[in-house]
Chains A and B, each alone.
Chain A
Amino acid sequence: MGLVTRLSWRNLVRQKKRNLFLGICIGFGMMILVVANSFSHGMVDVLINEVVSYAFGHLVVDGTQGNSYFTMIRDKERIVKIIEENIKPEDLLEINENLGMMGRAVGNGEADNVVVVGVTIEEDEKYFFNDFFTLLDGNFDDYFSTDYEYPVIVSSAMAKSLNVKVHDTIKIRIPMVTGQIQAAKLTVIAIADASNTFMNMVLFMQGYRVKELLGYKPWESASLQVTLRDPLKTAKYYADILHEKLKPGVICVAGKIGRADCQLVAFKHHDQAKEALRAEVTIVAGDPEKAWEKRGVMVSKALAQKLGLKAGDKFNYSYQTKFRGIYEEEFTVDAIYDSRTKLGADVLLVNEERIHDILNTYLPAEFQEFLAEDDPLYTALATEWKLLRRSKDSQELEKLYKNERKNKSTQSRLNIITMYEGASDILKLEAVLNLLTMNAVLILFFIILIGVVNTLRMTIKERTREIGTIRAIGMQKRDVRNVFIMETLFLTALSCIAGVTLGIVVIKVLGAFTFNSTGALSIILKDGRLVFKLAPLSILGNFLLILVIACVTAYFPARHAANLSAVEALRHYE
C-alpha cells in the first residue's frame, strides 16, 4: 500500500462521526438510486415483455387491405420464408400469427366485451401453460381436445363477469375477415390467470381455431409477430432489412387465353402513372376512355392478332393458382394497343383495381419477373402489394394508417413495425423512469457536494498541524492533496457499495410483497408483484459518475490544504 493510500485510509477509519454521517447519506442516496434504477428497468422490462411485445410484437410484418381492421397476409408461406431467410436463426425466437379480435360474449345471463386471441401451442409445449398461467379450475389438456368446437381459457375476472364455470359455453359474436359477423359457441375448459392483469379480458384459444372462427384461409395469416432474442438491439436492424427484402415486384402472371400463352400485367390506377404509360402505349383500336378506367382491360396488338380479338370481344383468361387449382376470369377487350416496350409482347394489360381482389383471393402459383426496378415503366405498373414506408414513432404510424384507410385502393399493404414505433408512447415511460434515476443521482450529487466540502473543510482545519508537519518533513503538495482526495474517494466508494448492497436488499423485500391491485397500476405488476431488474452496467456507470463527482468536489478543498503554508500550519492551534 502506498504511503498516500495508507494515510488516507487510516485517516478515514479514525471513525469520525461526521465521516460516518456523510457515508450514511451517500449510501442512502445510492440505495435510492439502485432501487429507482432497478424499478425503472423492471418496469420497462414488464412493459416490453409483458405488454408491448404481446400487443405489438418485437417486430411485426403487418398486412392490411382497404379499410378493414383485420390484418391479412395473403401468402403466409412466402412472407415467413423471407423472414426466416433474413433473420439469423440465433436471433429469431419465433414467428407467430397475431390472431385476435374483439367481440361481444354472453355467458350465463351476463355479457362483456372480450378479446379472442389465438395462441398456437403444440401438445409437447404444455409447459407453456404453467409458465404463463396460474390454473384455478379446469384442465389445460382440453385446449387440444377435439370434443369441443372452440375450447377457451378464461381469466378468473372474466369468468366472474360472464358468470361461467368450467365446461360452460360462452356465446360470442365477432367480426370476420370477410366482413360478416360470426356467431359461435366457445367452451370454457380452464379458468386461469395470466401473470399480467392486462390479459384479463382475453379468451385464449388454439391458433388454428381462432383462424377458422375469424374466417382466415389456412394459407392466409394475420400480421406476423416476430419474437427476437434481443429486441432492444436487433428489432430496428431487422426491420430495415425486412423492409428492403419485402419490396414488391411488378405484377406479372403467366396465364392462358384459350391455348395462347400470355402475361397479365396491371397498370397503376393513378393519373401520373397513366400519363407515363400513354407515352409508351398507343391505343390502336377500341375506346381509350374506357381502357384507362378503373376496370379497364387492354390487349396488346400482337396478342389480339394471335387470338383474333377485336375491341368489345369477351375472352376468358386463366392461370394456375397456388392453392385453388386453375382460376378463370372473363374479360372484355376495351382497347387494343401497340407498344415498343415489353408491353408490346403477348400482354394482357389491365387496371390494377380490376385484379387485386382476384389475385389476393386466388393467389397465382407464381409471379413472373417482368421489369427491373430501374426500368422507366416500373413506376407506372402495379406491384403485388404496397410496402409502406417505415414510421419513426406511434404518431407517424397512426397518421400513416389513417391515410391508408382513406385510400380506396384494393391493393394489399405490408408494413414493417417494431415495438418502438408501435409502442413508442408506452416506451416514452422509460424516459420518464430514467428521469427518476437521474433525480436520485442529482440528490446524491448535492449530498456529496455539500457533505464532502464541509466534511473536508472541518477535517482540514482539524489536521492543519499535521499538514504542516508532513509538508515540513518533505511531502509534496500533490501528495498532500491526494491524501484528502483519496480519503473522500474511499468514503464515497465504501458508502456506495454499502448503498448498493442495501438497495439490493430493499429490492428483494419490496419484490416479495404481493399487491392485490387490478387498477391501472397493475399493468406494471407481474404476478401481482413489483418487478425490479438490476442493471449492473447502469449502476456501475452511476457509481463511477458519483466517484468522479466526489473527486472533483474534494479536489478544491484538498488543494487548499496542500497549499497551506507549512509554517502557518505548524503554528496552528485549535
Chain B
Amino acid sequence: MNVIEVQGLKKDYPLGKTIVHALRGIDFSVEEGAFLSIVGPSGSGKTTLLNIIGCIDHPTAGRVRIHDQEISELNDKQITDLRLHRIGFIFQSFNLIPVLNVWENVEFPLLLMKDKRKEEIAARVERLIRAVGLLDYMAHKPAELSGGQRQRVAIARALVGNPDIVLADEPTANLDSETSESILKLMRELNEAERTTFIFSTHDPEVLKYAGKIVKIKDGMIVGQE
C-alpha cells in the first residue's frame, strides 16, 4: 500500500522578474514502511519536494495524497492536525525548542494531541528517549547537548506521536561522518522497529549506503530510481 502518492508536482518561485522552476513535474509514490532517500545536487529541489510532502508548502501544480487523502482539499486547521498526527519532521539544524529540556521537547507533539493520558505520554516519551539513547540527558536543555545528541532528540520527537511518515531534510548535513552514521543507523532501526515510513534527502553519497529505495532528482525532475 502506498502512503504517499505524488502526481505532476510542480513548484515555481517568483524571483524578481524571472521564475525559478524548483520542481518541474514529479511523479512518484512511497510504500508503507519504506526507507526512501532523495538524492540530488544542491538546488535540485529536494527541500522543496519534502516540504510539499510534509504539508508545510503548497505545490504550484500537481497532487499530493497521503493515505488517500488529497491535501489540497484541507484547510489550514486540518492540515496542521494532519501534520501533528501523521508526519514527523527531522530538520537539518535540529530545530529543538531551546526553552524546553529533552523530555519536554520529545513530549511536545503528544501534548499538542490533547487526547493522550498522562501515563500514556510518559511511557511513550520514555520509550523514545531510551530508543535514541538519551535517558541520562532527559533534563538537559538543547544548548547543553552535542549536535548528534540534538538530532537524536529531534528523531525521538519526530517519532513520538507514532506518525505514518517521518521526513528528514538532510538530517546529517550538520554532523561529522561518525555521528552521521550512528544517526542513520538509528533511523533505520526505528524504521524497522516501528514500521514507520522514512523519507530523507541527502547529497552525501556516503549516506546512501543506508538507504532502501533511492530517488534521484536533478533540476526539479526525477532522473532515476533504484
Which residues of chain A have a CB within 8 Å of any CB of chain B? 3, 6-7, 10-11, 14, 465-466, 468-477, 479, 565-567, 570
Contact = CB atoms under 8 A, between A and B. Distances in A.
A10 B99 CA distance: 6
Chain B CB within 10 A, most for which of A14, A472, A476, A567: A472
Q: Which of A7, A468, A470, A566 is the most central at the interface, judged by chain B CB atoms within 10 Å of its CB?
A: A566
A474 B112 contact: yes
Interface in B93-111: 95, 97-100, 104, 108-109, 111
B85 A465 contact: no
Contact of B56 (A6, A471, A477): A471
B100 A475 contact: no
B84 A469 contact: no
A475 B91 contact: no
B173 to A, nearest CB: 15
A468 B96 CA distance: 11
Contacts of A6: 100, 104
Contacts of A10: 99-100
A567 B99 contact: no
Nearest to A14: B99
Given A11-B99, A476-B81, 15 more contacts: A7-B97, A14-B98, A466-B95, A469-B91, A469-B95, A470-B97, A472-B54, A472-B89, A473-B83, A474-B83, A474-B112, A475-B84, A475-B112, A566-B56, A567-B57
Interface in B36-51: 51
Contact of B109 (A11, A474, A565): A474
Given A567-B57, A570-B95, A477 B108 contact: no
Interface residues of B, number: 26
28 contacts: A3-B108, A3-B112, A6-B100, A7-B97, A10-B99, A11-B99, A14-B99, A465-B95, A466-B97, A469-B89, A469-B91, A469-B95, A470-B108, A471-B56, A472-B56, A472-B83, A473-B112, A474-B85, A474-B87, A475-B112, A476-B77, A476-B81, A477-B76, A477-B77, A477-B80, A566-B57, A567-B56, A567-B57
B87 to A, nearest CB: 8
B157 interface: yes
Contacts of A570: 56, 91, 95
A473 B56 contact: no
Contacts of B161: 474
B162 to A, nearest CB: 13
Contacts of B97: 7, 466, 469-470
B91 A471 contact: no
**Leading 3 A-B pairs by shortest Cβ distance:** A474-B84, A10-B99, A566-B56
Contacts of B108: 3, 470, 473
A471 B56 CA distance: 9
A471 B83 CA distance: 9
Given A7-B99, A566-B56, A473 B89 contact: yes
A10 B111 CA distance: 16
Overall SS of chain A's interface: helix
Contacts of A465: 95
A6 B51 CA distance: 28
Contacts of B54: 472
B80 A474 contact: yes
A159 to B, nearest CB: 71
A567 B51 contact: yes
A475 B114 CA distance: 11
Contacts of A7: 97, 99-100
Contacts of A473: 83-84, 89, 108-109, 112, 157
A477 B77 CA distance: 8
A479 B81 CA distance: 13
Taking each of A7, A471, A473, which has the highest tally of chain B beta carbons within 10 Å of its own beta carbon? A473
B80 A471 contact: yes
Contacts of A567: 51, 56-57
A317 B96 CA distance: 108
Nearest to B163: A474
